[in-house]
Structure 1
Amino acid sequence: MIIAQYNIENMRLFYSLSLMFIVIASIHLMSCSRSSNTLVVSTDTGFDKHTVYMAGYTIDTITKLHNAAYWVNGVIVPLVNNGNMNLEATGIVVDGTDVYVTGYNYLIGYRNSLSVIPVFWKNGVPYNFPENPTAQRVGLANNLFISNKDVFIAGEYKGNASIWKNGVRTTLDTSTSYSSIANAVFVQGSDIYVVGSVSKFSALLGGYGPIAILWKNSVPNQLGKGYSEAYSVFVKGNDVYVGGFDDPENNVPYLPKHYACYWKNGVYTNLDNIKRNYSRVNALCFDGKDLLAVGETMFWKNNQILSLNAENTSSYTSVVQIDGESFIGGQSFSAKSSVNSVVTLWHNEHLFQFPFYGSTNAIFVK
């Protein structure tokens, strides 16, 4: 463990970059694309007013390995990667001076339930899950939330939706379903909200398909009407918002659809009005005025779809609102260029690209 800390500190020194260098390198990286590419790249990051934490991964252009990392106002903190494994960070929360990150690693060429291992870091130091002391068991750590110093992690363990509270796991799905998964967790007071899905057999689909579920204090509530999934949950006052996709029509045998949507207190709202067939909400948040939702290539504000950069092909993974400002994380790359996607932040809908190939999977702002 001491060696791991030593390596992290040295990597921090090696990779620490000033904001000025990040801006210059980001613009230079984009200028390497074909001359016909006209990206609108901003220098507005919001770092002057807030501390922005982003978690995700970088891509080694030689080995193609994904290497987990997080950034603090643009300064990268690489996370320990043991051996030839892909490693991605999926969630990040800051409590006081402590930085908590979740993620998972998987073998090169594999990304299935036989090879994925959950990972958890505190201040860059990796910790094994109590049930996983030798890193031989399988599962996912998808998201986390901290409330009153208690650390809640949502994920999956051996095919079952699970939540860990301070390292102690609770299985959420006790049904006879084929499999289940927990994608996100939100805690308000004594109530614990977890969203994900349970895979059940559907004669209409001709096999097993996921059904979106909200667990409140471990009690399941079905959200989806058809082929569906829940990826994000946000609670404001007495209102519970859940983002994902659903196919409430469910009228095409053997051809499930993905309609981006959200549920407010269990009531379904379709965001994909032109029915692209394969759309979804990855994350959402509500500040009392504006409801923001982001998907694979789409951004919605109060149910209206907006473009964050008309000249860019982007994927949005996370969204945060604070003091009337919005922060969206993801990846972007030129539709007219063959370069890899780059780590990207949108501050107040302005695109800023970092000089790292990879993606942002989660954001925390304070």
Structure 2
Amino acid sequence: MDMSELLKNVCEKYKRSVRENPDTVGQVETTFRLLSYVIAGRLRNAQVLSELMYTSSNLLVFLNDAILKQTAKIIPKVSASQEPSGAAAGTLTVLEYVEVFVEVAANKLWGEVGKWIVIATIQICKATLRFYLLATYKHGIQPMPPIAPLDRQLVSKKNKEAQQLTEQEDSRTWRSWIQKWFYCSHDLHLETVWESHEENISCPSPGHEDMGHPHPDRYPCGRRKDLAPTPLSRQRVWAETLHIVKPIVHLMSMYGFGLSSWKPWLISCGMDISSLTMMGDPADLNQNEKGELRRRTFMLLYYLLRSPFYDRYSQAKIIFLMKILADNIPGTSLLIRPLLAYLPTWQKVYFYVWSA
């Protein structure tokens, strides 16, 4: 057996284990994520190991979701013209998951210069992919990450319903063929047989379902009609463009004015507020897009944690408040004190503070 066949067999075995043991897979994913929190601040090179574990958990979820989607057939097949859109969205999602680890690893290996080169490269790639989705495939207000994790409980519920439906369809099919045999044995016309067959099978079998018009309840995590991207007006296109280019503009302003200058902070904040204002009334947007705008509005609070505002105003107040909570509320110190110890390191990671 050559290497390609060995890898193929390993992949097939892994896919089968994910399909057959979704609960166990979920526990493994959760374990990876919990380990990332346990390792943080406790070992040498803890930050790199912690980010590696956290990134691995996200990529594992992404991979297993893809397997479960394919197995459960909860997303309808897309046309050839739509496939590049899925590839671009998938690449963008992976970049969102790995960016923090790549930054931390680059800083460890190549120092500050290497770190900023990697940050700039990732932000340029992300902006390029977002413009590609916006211009070519009319993806409007783009969420972060573009491909959200699968709702495993909903999928499990829908799979059980689909299995019950399939069993009912199989039962109807057997009854129809028994009737066909009975009618044929009594020299009845074949047309009568097929009319009886069609009357008895009210639901099409999964193999003959029109994939161009999937039943809405069979694809709980697919692209349903009411969740299609909303066509954006020219003003909203400019608003989304501001949101996409903001990271690039922020990096350029940091390079031009320095890391401790207020100008990059003010420029970035102004672009975020302008983008949200230009979006206008979200009443005509779908639920996913409304949720993304709410997330972007909430993320304005991150400017309290972004330098230089954090260094000069909010740092002392946040630490003072967290210490009061840890000293006066039983049990909270187990969570807050490790967070206090990790906060200076976390605040220095660009993608943690500025990725949104």
Q: TM-score, normalised by structure 1?
A: 0.28
Greater percentage in strand: 1
Q: Which has the higher contact order (CA 8 A, sep 6+)?
A: 2
Q: TM-score, normalised by structure 2?
A: 0.28
